[in-house]
Amino acid sequence: MCTVSYIPNKEGFILTSNRDESLFRPQSLEPERFEMFGQNLLFPKDPEANGTWIATSDSDRTICLLNGGFVRHIHQPEYRKSRGLVLLDYFQYKCAVDYANEYDFSGIAPFTLVIVEELPNRKLVEIRWTGDEIFFKELDDTLPFIWSSVTLYTPETIASRSNWFATWLKQNPSPDNFDILDFHHFAGEGDGANSLIMHRSDKKQTVSITQIEKRLGEKVMRYEDLLVQKLHPSGI
């Protein structure tokens, strides 16, 4: 939930998420299909709050969460609802615009959502919640993007990661899913605290990589649990 890339291609798109989390938090469950809000959803579940940081549906919608809005915030205890459940609530709405306009975000910790909608045409949307205000932005879905969580990375580190991404794209102008996974595994400058696979002395580290690939009308989710070194492929 802390580093996300979006890569469009002729067949669809590839969305990839590195989840950075405390090792004291319960280990997430591998992706399963759930029937919710009249749709079939596919996502790995966080057993602590029963939410998730990434999900896709058979209604051609995909969503991914990063902690924090625009800047690092001060944690306030007793938030009303987990952000992982707020993400799933998106699927109650017809589209991201309705969700942003109608959902009650009060009492929720700041976050950033990356949403890909494909009905009828593909749209790439970024929603940021600051704790006080919601910001909705439609991005150019024909361009690649990368996001890093503002709660874990400084503006300077986020800028460096964007530069790594831009340099890598020049070297890989038409990357496939394996190329992208390689970037999400190895990008960095030897600084374990800020590389895409991060590990820090406070027991925070990258615990998994989840990739959703839309290709020729089908979607495949690849979930790699880095703690037990196991890959879980699934489709919807």
CATH H superfamily, domain 3-152+202-235 = Penicillin V Acylase; Chain A (3.60.60.10)
Report how far residue 55's alpha carbon sits from residue 212's, in angstroms, rounded to the nearest whole number.
9
pLDDT at 80: 84
Domain ranges of the chain: 3-152+202-235
Q: Could you read off the pLDDT tens digit of each residue along the chain, which spans 236 residues?
A: 689 999 999 989 999 999 998 888 888 899 999 999 999 999 999 988 899 999 999 989 999 999 999 877 777 777 889 999 999 999 999 999 999 999 999 999 999 999 999 988 899 999 999 999 999 999 999 999 999 999 999 999 999 999 999 999 999 999 999 999 999 999 999 898 999 999 998 889 999 999 999 988 889 999 999 998 888 877 77
Q: Walk across the sheet containing 39-45 and list its strands.
A: 29-36, 39-45, 54-57, 61-67, 111-117, 123-129, 134-139
